[in-house]
């Protein structure tokens, strides 16, 4: 048996405990170990993918400890199960972490690096373990490793009140979610007497019970919280900006994706075939659509640039979750459901690349300016051309501008959602409109008039260590945009096929002699092009609904002309407005008019994000209760 699956985790964990020891001897040695472990891991995962694909994507099962004595009829050992989806996620996790690790060598110079390296590597080990494991309790253990190190990293700069408050809220919410997950795991064990996910899936398929459905509700509520989905997303907008920028890149790029992955793995591979999951799929679609609206809308009303990116993460993860939810619903046009999954998984990859790139480059700007207020970043593009170019490229990618990777995955999702349900399709389009407003402000700010702060500080592009990862991520983003077939055919489609065939996930089990047959295997599905089908009537409907939204917003927007005030400061590079008294904005102006139109909605949403931890906890329990009542009870 090849030991490849466990290698990555072992490398991370060994390095995590070596670095503090070596740091005592010499700093450069510790850095070397840190870099060697993070940079070698993508290679290991690539080898794993090659091994998988050479074996026609049959899942690799790796047993920790002896495989005997009962063969597979009594699975009590911990197993790692790597299928195409796990390998796809593992490659994303390790590659993005490698880029971020390279960046942090230059970036984290002043902070206490000793703890940083260990926590960083533990976080990586946790995430890698979560995507590779085939055992539910092992998933919980790796989840806790991930969570504890991310709480510590959010509160890393503990001399700042912001980091401490955000870390506290993140920690309490995350721990409650973990407890809910633990209780659900206990219920599943009590029900089926096993924790191997493949075995659980097989058991559930043959003896579905109400208790198992309640357990699924808890697992989903917990993992959706870890993924930052509305209505349990409030911690995200606090925690991601408060962390150092490299950690924000990891949290936004990877940690929430791994939460979504776990939810998808459990929903698809364990529970999908057992019962009718129509209602569950709809619940997931609804929370995903809500995330698209809330995240992207609130992103447009932040002055703190990292908070803007964090809210945008909520919105973009909403797209992923919506796609996953659509494919969960049985009876949807199979073409649409495949396109939805392809789009969701490809968007997951693209968003990881884009958000890591954005947080890293924005981190470089914030580092050199000492402020996160967009209003004071005017004209920085002249001083930091490379960094600003990367920021703007990332912004265009997230909006979904054509030559970039964000466009491809979003287009797949538009098509899938439109065919699935025109209203959801219009919401997907609307989310893009909102995020255009949010990131449009970045264009104004970075390319605008030079602000006094920028003139004083005269920032410069960062050095080689920090430039290389940014350029690497930007190149990946352009490459995936121009040649989407490479990642889609090579990685996304096998991953989608793995999700859609839970039978193959359990196929290695030997039950009472023979190999399990996999019942209810869905039809293998014809290969479809990257761009799905074009159904004119449906798209016309989507356009009609979108235009109705547009007219509504336009109607609500203010009429007349306004003299500039506080609201436009962001577009005037934080200058005093006295010089601009003559400047006037018409009511139809995209930014001001739009802001006026959605003001009541935004204010209501902002009131909900009251900062009160108790309210946030209530939302988590509320989501749990809704999932139990609607899905567990049925």
Partner 1 sequence: MMVYLTAFALIMLGIAGMLFRRNLLKIIMALSVADSGAYLLLIAIGYRSGGTAPILTGYEGGPMVDPLPQALVLTAIVIGVCVLIMAVSLVVNVYRHYGTLDVSELRRLRG
Chain residues that interact with partner 1, rule: CB under 8 A: 76, 137, 141, 144, 148, 151-152, 155, 158, 161-162, 164-169, 171-172, 175-176, 178-179, 182-183, 186-187, 189-190, 193, 195, 238, 242, 298, 301-302, 606, 609-614, 617-618, 621
Closer to partner 1 by Cβ: residue 547 or 621? 621
Minimum CB separation of residue 195 from partner 1 in Å reads 8
Minimum CB separation of residue 154 from partner 1 in Å reads 10
Find tokens 């026609």 and name the residue: 56
Find tokens 């018409």 and name the residue: 586
Closer to partner 1 by Cβ: residue 45 or 203? 203
Pairing of strands 510-511, 79-82: unpaired
Minimum CB separation of residue 158 from partner 1 in Å reads 5
Q: Alpha carbon of 402 to those of 214, 319, 459: distances in Å?
A: 43, 18, 31
Q: The tokens of 269 are what?
A: 């591979």
Closer to partner 1 by Cβ: residue 167 or 459? 167
Q: How far apart are CA 437 and CA 296, in angstroms?
A: 9
Measure the N-to-C terminal CA separation of the chain; round to a whole number of Å: 43
Closer to partner 1 by Cβ: residue 165 or 335? 165
CA atoms within 13 A on the CB side of 412: 34
Q: How many CB atoms within 10 Å of residue 330?
A: 12
Closer to partner 1 by Cβ: residue 276 or 612? 612
Q: How far apart are CA 389 and CA 395, in angstroms?
A: 10
Minimum CB separation of residue 618 from partner 1 in Å reads 6
Q: The tokens of 417 are what?
A: 């959602």
Residue by residue, DSSP assigns 250-307 as HIIIIIHHHHHHHHHHIIIIITTTTS--HHHHHHHHHHHHHHHHHHHHHHTT-SBHHH
Closer to partner 1 by Cβ: residue 67 or 621? 621
Closer to partner 1 by Cβ: residue 189 or 465? 189
Minimum CB separation of residue 203 from partner 1 in Å reads 15
Minimum CB separation of residue 190 from partner 1 in Å reads 4
Q: Angle, to 10 degrees, between the axis of helix 113-132 and the axis of helix 84-107? A: 170
Residues 149, 246 contacting (CB under 8 angstroms)? no
Minimum CB separation of residue 132 from partner 1 in Å reads 18
Closer to partner 1 by Cβ: residue 74 or 550? 74
Minimum CB separation of residue 125 from partner 1 in Å reads 15
Q: Angle, to 10 degrees, between the axis of helix 256-265 and the axis of helix 84-107? A: 170
Q: Alpha carbon of 541 to those of 267, 422, 504, 632: distances in Å?
A: 31, 6, 38, 35
Closer to partner 1 by Cβ: residue 176 or 473? 176
Closer to partner 1 by Cβ: residue 3 or 607? 607
Find tokens 């999700």 and name the residue: 499
Residues 395, 358 contacting (CB under 8 angstroms)? yes
Closer to partner 1 by Cβ: residue 90 or 181? 181
Residues 198, 508 contacting (CB under 8 angstroms)? yes
Minimum CB separation of residue 68 from partner 1 in Å reads 17
Minimum CB separation of residue 180 from partner 1 in Å reads 9
Find tokens 């195409």 and name the residue: 84
3-state secondary structure 189-254: HHHHCCCEHHHHHHHHHHCCCHHHHHHHHHHHHHHHHHCCCCCCCHHHHHHHHHCCHHHHHHHHHH
Closer to partner 1 by Cβ: residue 478 or 613? 613
Q: The tokens of 159 are what?
A: 């001399």
Q: What angle do CA 450, 454, 460 make, to 5 degrees?
A: 115
């Amino acid at each position: 048996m090849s030991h490849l699956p466990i290698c990555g985790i072992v490398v991370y964990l060994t390095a995590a405990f070596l670095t503090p020891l070596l740091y005592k001897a010499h700093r450069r040695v510790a850095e070397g170990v840190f870099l060697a472990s993070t940079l070698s891991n993508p290679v290991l995962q690539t080898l794993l993918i090659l091994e998988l694909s050479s074996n026609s994507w049959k899942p690799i099962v790796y047993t920790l400890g002896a495989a005997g004595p009962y063969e597979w009829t009594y699975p009590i050992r911990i197993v790692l199960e790597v299928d195409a989806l796990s390998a796809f996620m593992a490659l994303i996790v390790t590659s993005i972490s490698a880029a971020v690790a390279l960046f942090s060598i230059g970036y984290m110079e002043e902070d206490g690096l000793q703890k940083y390296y260990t926590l960083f590597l533990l976080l990586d080990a946790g995430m890698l373990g979560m995507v590779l494991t085939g055992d539910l309790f092992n998933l919980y253990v790796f989840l806790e490793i991930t969570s504890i190190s991310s709480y510590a990293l959010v509160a890393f700069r503990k001399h700042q009140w912001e980091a401490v408050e955000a870390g506290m809220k993140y920690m309490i919410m995350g721990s409650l979610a973990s407890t809910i997950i633990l209780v659900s795991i206990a219920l599943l064990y009590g029900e089926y007497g096993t924790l191997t996910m493949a075995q659980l899936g097989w058991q559930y398929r043959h003896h579905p019970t109400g208790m198992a459905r309640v357990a699924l509700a808890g697992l989903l509520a917990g993992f959706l919280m870890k993924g930052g989905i509305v209505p349990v997303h409030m911690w995200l907008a606090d925690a991601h900006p408060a962390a150092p920028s490299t950690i924000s890149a990891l949290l936004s790029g990877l940690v929430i994706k791994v939460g979504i992955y776990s939810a998808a793995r459990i929903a698809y591979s364990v529970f999908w075939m057992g019962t009718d999951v129509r209602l569950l799929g709809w619940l997931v679609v609804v929370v995903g659509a809500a995330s698209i609206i809330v995240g992207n809308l609130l992103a447009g009303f932040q002055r703190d640039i990292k908070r803007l990116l964090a809210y945008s993460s909520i919105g973009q993860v909403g797209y992923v979750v919506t796609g996953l939810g659509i494919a969960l619903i049985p009876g949807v046009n199979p073409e649409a459901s495949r396109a939805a999954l392809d789009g969701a998984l490809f968007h997951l990859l693209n968003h990881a690349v884009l958000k890591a790139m954005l947080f890293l480059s924005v981190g470089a700007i914030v580092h050199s300016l000492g402020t996160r207020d967009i209003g004071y970043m005017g004209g920085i593009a002249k001083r930091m051309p490379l960094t600003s170019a990367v920021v703007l490229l990332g912004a265009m990618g997230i909006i979904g501008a054509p030559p970039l990777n964000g466009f491809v995955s979003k287009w797949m999702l538009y098509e899938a959602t439109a065919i699935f349900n025109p209203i959801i399709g219009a919401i997907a389009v609307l989310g893009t409109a909102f995020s255009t407003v949010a990131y449009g402000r970045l264009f104004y700010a970075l390319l605008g008039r030079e602000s006094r702060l920028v003139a004083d500080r005269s920032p410069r592009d960062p050095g080689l260590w920090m430039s290389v990862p940014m350029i690497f991520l930007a190149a990946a983003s352009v490459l995936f945009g121009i040649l989407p077939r490479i990642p889609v055919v090579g990685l996304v489609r096998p991953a989608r096929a793995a999700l859609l065939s839970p039978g193959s996930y359990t196929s290695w089990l030997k039950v009472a002699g023979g190999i399990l047959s996999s019942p209810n295997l869905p039809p293998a599905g014809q290969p479809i092009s990257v761009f799905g089908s074009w159904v004119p009537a449906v798209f016309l409907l989507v356009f009609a609904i979108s235009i109705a939204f547009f007219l509504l917003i336009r109607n609500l927007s203010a009429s007349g002309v306004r003299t500039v005030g506080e609201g436009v400061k962001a577009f005037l590079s934080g200058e005093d407005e006295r010089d601009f008294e003559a400047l006037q904005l018409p009511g139809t102006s995209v930014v001001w008019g739009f802001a006026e139109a959605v003001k009541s909605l935004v204010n209501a949403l902002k009131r909900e994000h009251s900062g009160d931890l108790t309210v946030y906890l209530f939302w988590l329990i509320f989501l749990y209760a809704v999932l139990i009542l609607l899905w567990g009870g049925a």
